[in-house]
């Protein structure tokens, strides 16, 4: 039995399959297609969108607990990462997250939702342009750390899930029932 590193495993999931071998044969299994990964990411984005919608307008931009940021600032972080990650994986051009984008003037839920929906459209447009081998390509992401395309995408998803969890806590503290996390 061959044990794979996290990088080898996650690269194999989307790109080339996991090779398994016994004494007589070798087979390749694809666990998740590129389209399935996009669908998974978009499912998380749909849930995050419903969390944004659940916030009262004023609390979205002002409510915090402890030293955490308002949820709107977390959403702006997602907006700075989603398209640059997809673009970087597709092209190898890793512009800085949020480069050329200033969300500091965004002060309404409607504007935040408009930007969210625009990012979703851009993600959907970029995704089919990602060559399969780019999921496995290891590069210096955003000039900061080396990672494969697939692991960078998973990092972006994990970051969104982590901060959405903070949004759930905020909603509960405001006595608002968050949307069911399993409905994506």
Domain span including residue 161: 34-173
pLDDT tens-digit series, residues 106-157: 999 999 999 999 999 999 999 999 999 999 999 999 989 999 999 999 999 9
- pTM of the complete model: 0.81
Residue at 130 is within a domain: yes
Q: Does the residue 79 lie in any domain?
A: yes
Q: Please provide the average confidence, as pLDDT, over all residues in the chain.
A: 86
Please indicate, yes or no, if residue 69 is contained in any of the structural domains: yes
Confidence band (pLDDT; 50, 70, 90) for 12?
A: low
Nearest to 152 by CA among 75, 100, 113, 97: 97
Residue 18 domain flag: no
Q: Is the pLDDT of residue 15 over 50?
A: no
Report the domain count for the chain. Answer: 1
Q: Report if residue 19 sits inside a domain.
A: no
Q: Determine, yes or no, domain membership for 91.
A: yes
- Give residues with Cβ within 8 angstroms of 10, minimum separation 6: 148, 150, 151, 154
Q: How far apart are CA 13 and CA 56, in angstroms?
A: 40
Does the residue 9 lie in any domain?
Answer: no
Asked whether the predicted pLDDT for residue 2 surpasses 70, the reply is no
Residue 158 lies in a domain: yes
Question: Comparing 97 with 82, which gets the higher pLDDT?
Answer: 82
CATH of the domain at 87: 1.20.120.450
Which among 141, 109, 123, 118 has a CA at the least distance from the CA of 40?
A: 123
């Amino acid at each position: 039995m061959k044990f794979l590193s996290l990088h080898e495993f996650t690269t194999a999931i989307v790109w080339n399959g996991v090779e398994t071998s016994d004494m007589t044969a070798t087979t390749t299994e694809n666990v998740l297609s590129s389209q399935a990964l996009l669908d998974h990411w978009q499912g998380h984005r749909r849930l995050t969108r419903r969390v944004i919608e659940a916030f009262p307008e004023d609390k979205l931009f002002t409510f915090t607990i402890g030293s955490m940021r308002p949820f709107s600032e977390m959403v702006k972080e997602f907006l700075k990462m989603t398209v640059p990650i997809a673009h970087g994986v597709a092209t190898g051009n890793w512009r800085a997250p949020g480069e050329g984008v200033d969300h500091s003037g965004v002060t309404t839920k409607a504007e935040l939702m408009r930007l969210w929906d625009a990012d979703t459209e851009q993600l959907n447009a970029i995704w089919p342009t990602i060559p399969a081998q780019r999921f496995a390509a290891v590069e210096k992401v955003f000039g900061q750390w080396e990672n494969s395309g697939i692991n960078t995408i998973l990092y972006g998803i994990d970051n969104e899930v982590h901060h959405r969890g903070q949004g759930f806590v905020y909603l509960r503290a405001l006595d608002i029932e968050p949307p069911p996390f399993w409905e994506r």
